[in-house]
Amino acid sequence: MSRRIWNNAVKAGLYICSAVTVALLVSLIGYIMYRGIPALSFHLLSTQSSYLNDTIGILPNILNTLYIIIVTMAIAIPIGVCAALYLTEYAENKKLVSAIEFAAETLTGIPSIIFGLVGMLVFTQLLGIKQGILAGALTLVMMIMPTIIRTTQESLKTVPMSYREGALAMGAGKWYMIRTVVLPNAVDGIVTGCILAVGRIIGESAALLFTAGFGLVLNNFVDSLTSSSATLTVALYVYASERGETNVAFAIAVVLIILTLVINMIAGLAAGRLRAKTK
Amino acid sequence: MDKAMEIKDLNLWYGEHQALENISVDLPKNEITALIGPSGCGKSTFLKTLNRMNDLVQGVRITGEVRYNGKNIYDPDVDVTDLRKKIGMVFQKANPFPMSIYDNIAYGPRIHGVHAKVKLDEIVERSLKDAAIWNEVKDRLRTSALGLSGGQQQRLCIARALAVEPDILLMDESTSALDPISTGKIEELCLELKKKYTVVMVTHNMQQAVRISDWCAFFLLGKLIEFNTSEKIFSIPQDKRTEDYITGRFG
Amino acid sequence: MMRSKFDEQLEVLNQELIRMGMMCENAIRKSACSLLEHDLLTAATLPDLVEQINQKDREIENFCLRLLLQQQPVARDLRAVSSALKMVTDMDRIGVQSADIAEIVTMDSVKEVDESLPVREMATSVIRMVSESIDAFVKKDVEAARAVIEFDNVVDGYFDSVKKQLIISLKQPGENGEMILDLLMISKYLERIGDQAVNIASWVIFSITGQREGVQGK
């Protein structure tokens, strides 16, 4: 009898925990939407802030976020994927590989403000690159490359050895085999890794404070590389704390959430399409 | 006896462990040679030295000669990719690529520079016919190879190996994962294949070796104990260890 | 120990062959005795004896076929089983020859056998040949089997001697022609039993070495 009561109590407890989790998520998103959606307007999204007209516009920040995603991924993907290929397919010294993997693993745990500090010291002060998208992107590359390397490695490892052996046994060279058999089958895993990375980039703020800067001015792509350019997250901080415009901050939060959702969906579709093509 | 390959004093080490000891044997051309022996005796290792697939294993060291067309395949100036075109391999578990049937067969020729559609079509048809699977798949060449049954997939892998027109076909326990009917089809296939190719097969199945092989090599603990026609090995083996193994008294 | 069941079955096969061999020796002995002691009663027991031998032949045959089916033997096992199949056929024939001898005895034409005719010697010799060839099979003794084949020359010599003496008897007037011819046939049957024993021995050699040696015609 007591066992039945105990079972029911445990079940009830688990239900409550799940309910709390869902409630947390729903209320969080709900509150953000509640505060943020009224503050959204076409004007907000399509203009830059102007002291003259006393208006606020977050177009520059939206563009900055997109720019930084593009630049970071453009640098990190080739280097990360190639590094992962080397580690999985070519490296001979097992000890060296473990050491590199351990280093990558540790890097993912380091707080992002430290990356920001290092980025500021190395890129803006030592190398003299002006605060802007470029410096910010380089900092983010340091941050997300371990993730990309790790997820690429994992997805390369899921390709069965038998495919590699089969290709080599027919006279394929090693790179040909990797290009035609391994990579196509690992690509959805690699894309997943990239989604994770993009998600992290969108949400990153601390690392960009002193590397990409606080600038709220609209620039074209080339200029933004070396001019202080705040991404959406940094802008949220600026508007919320320095300018006291909490409604705008919530509006930015809504934009960030929607952006994340959209990017996830696009990446998912892309991976599905790529997988269908290789079949 | 015409020789497809001549092996002299072959020794192989995985690191410190010696897996093959002083193997010398001539493999006859256009015949089926079966390699038998208990688990871990070195027969699969030996098979893999014939197309240098052992190169993929770290820490492998080889001494001795494996001669194909009069040349030692372990000479430094040998083109391994070309070697593997002439000496093909079919594995224990069918490993078709996750591509269409057509692309699977065309993979080999494409490696070696054949891209013209007409030529590829011809090669695909010929290979699938040689592997006795053309009629079953000719209407679905563009569908995924993974949709075939196990036995069909293995015949597909055979067709894939044949697409590059090898001289020698190495089969590493290729029917051990299949049901009796599929196994039977592949055995029939081997009997046909030996007219054009030389077949060297590792098998655990004694009855299979008796049924279809012409020559038989018995391996034990890395050494080649006996090599003779299958009829002699299975009716009057010369070495007691051979007899004990084939009569199932150990192994 | 692998294949212990099969090894047990091979041991059973050996025992059965020994048993059938003993039945054959018994049949030869009884038919020879019934001849030499003019014992018609004993002679009358032969048909039943031979029926038993025939039964045993079929039993061992079925057993061997089952072994071939279930165990798929190769090498020495295959040779052992297939030799056994051939040996029981020869032993069955030995039974038939013994019955033929007994049949002649029951016709009561041979009242007594002249001591100078080596009939008794022939009978003892072929009994020995049968038992030694089975023994050679069980002990896997090639030399013993070869000795049996060699020894057939002695039996052939006895037969020649009987034939010569009977021809001389035939030429003498007043001799019982029917008895002489019956004696000749009995001796021929005994000589044939010797040949069957040689066949058994030659299959024994095959089971051990894989070579056929010394096969006799019928």
| DSSP state letters, B130-156 | HTT-HHHHTT-TTSBGGGS-HHHHHHH
State the pLDDT confidence band at A261, using cuts at 50, 70 and 90.
Answer: confident
Q: Distance (Å, rounded) from C-alpha A198 to C-alpha A181? A: 27
Please tell me the distance in Å from B60's CA to the nearest CA on chain A. 13
A165 interface with B at CB cutoff 8 Å: yes
Q: Which residue of A has its CA nearest to B104?
A: A167
- Asked if B97 and A172 come within 8 Å (Cβ–Cβ), the reply is no
Residues of B in contact with C6 (CB under 8 A): 248
Task: Copy the structure tokens of residue C3.
Answer: 């294949």
Task: Copy the structure tokens of residue B219.
Answer: 């391996």
Q: Which residue of A has its CA nearest to B79?
A: A171
Which chains pack against A, by 3+ Cβ pairs within 8 A?
Answer: B
C70 interface with B at CB cutoff 8 Å: no
B247 interface with C at CB cutoff 8 Å: yes
Task: Copy the structure tokens of residue B90.
Answer: 């079919």
Instruction: Round the average pLDDT of chain B to a whole number and report it.
Output: 93
Residue that the structure tokens 């462990």 belong to: B17
Mean pLDDT of B101-107: 95
- Asked if C74 and B250 come within 8 Å (Cβ–Cβ), the reply is no
Q: Which residue of B has its CA nearest to C211?
A: B236
Decide if pLDDT at A240 tops 90: no
Please tell me the distance in Å from C18's CA to the nearest CA on chain B. 24
Residues 92-151 of B with CB under 8 A from C: none
Residues of B in contact with A276 (CB under 8 A): none
Backbone phi, psi, residue B61, to 5°: -130, 135
Query: How many C-beta atoms lie closer than 10 Å to residue C70's C-beta?
Result: 11
Residues of C in contact with B218 (CB under 8 A): none
Higher-confidence residue: A227 or A16? A16
User: A260-264, B157-161, C103-107: which has the minimum mean pLDDT?
Assistant: A260-264
**Chain B interface disruption, residue of C8, C9, C76, most B CBs within 10 A:** C76
Half-sphere exposure of B98 (CA within 13 A, CB side): 15
- Asked if A166 and B97 come within 8 Å (Cβ–Cβ), the reply is yes
pLDDT of residue A263: 79
Instruction: Round the average pLDDT of chain A to a whole number and report it.
Output: 87
CATH architecture group of domain A44-278: Orthogonal Bundle (1.10)
State the pLDDT confidence band at A278, using cuts at 50, 70 and 90.
Answer: low
Q: Distance (Å, rounded) from C-alpha B170 to C-alpha B88? A: 6
CA angle A48, A51, A53 (to 5 degrees): 85
**Chain B interface disruption, residue of A94, A161, A170, A277, most B CBs within 10 A:** A170
State the pLDDT confidence band at C218, using cuts at 50, 70 and 90.
Answer: very low
Nearest by CB: B85 against A160, A171, A176: A171
Q: Distance (Å, rounded) from C-alpha B86 to C-alpha B80? A: 10
Half-sphere exposure of B238 (CA within 13 A, CB side): 10
Decide if pLDDT at C1 tops 60: no
Mean pLDDT of C65-86: 93
- Percent of chain C scored above 90 by pLDDT? 76
Which chains pack against C, by 3+ Cβ pairs within 8 A?
Answer: B
Residues of C in contact with B246 (CB under 8 A): 74-75
Higher-confidence residue: B127 or A269? B127
Mean pLDDT of A127-133: 86
A161 interface with B at CB cutoff 8 Å: no
B246 interface with C at CB cutoff 8 Å: yes
Bridge-based pairing of strands B17-28 and B32-36 is unpaired
Nearest by CB: C3 against B236, B243, B249: B249
Provide the number of CB pairs (under 8 Å) joining chain B to chain C. Answer: 32
Decide if pLDDT at A275 tops 90: no
State the pLDDT confidence band at A168, using cuts at 50, 70 and 90.
Answer: very high
The pLDDT tens digits of the residues spanning C135-167 come to 998 899 999 999 999 999 999 999 999 999 999
pLDDT of residue B100: 94
Residues of B in contact with A166 (CB under 8 A): 91, 95-97, 157, 160
Query: How many C-beta atoms lie closer than 10 Å to residue A164's C-beta?
Result: 19
The pLDDT tens digits of the residues spanning A182-205 come to 998 898 888 888 888 888 899 888
Q: Nearest-CA neighbor of B17 among B47, B40, B50, B37?
A: B40
- Percent of chain A scored above 70 by pLDDT? 98
- pTM comes to 0.80
Q: Which residue of C has its CA nearest to B249?
A: C2
Nearest by CB: A92 against B58, B99, B107: B58
Higher-confidence residue: B34 or A39? B34
A and B interact (at least 3 Cβ pairs within 8 A): yes
Q: Which residue of B has its CA nearest to C78?
A: B235
Contact criterion met (CB below 8 Å) for B177 and B160 = no
Task: Copy the structure tokens of residue B77.
Answer: 């100036």
Contacts of residue B182, defined as CB under 8 A and 6 or more positions apart, other chains included, come to B149, B150, B151, B152, B154, B175
The per-residue b/e assignment along C18-31, b for 16 or more CB within 10 angstroms, e otherwise, is eebbebbbbbbebb
Locate the domains of chain A by residue range. Answer: 2-39, 44-278
Q: Which residue of A has its CA nearest to B171?
A: A169
Nearest by CB: B84 against A92, A168, A180: A168
pLDDT of residue B19: 95
Mean pLDDT of C66-75: 92
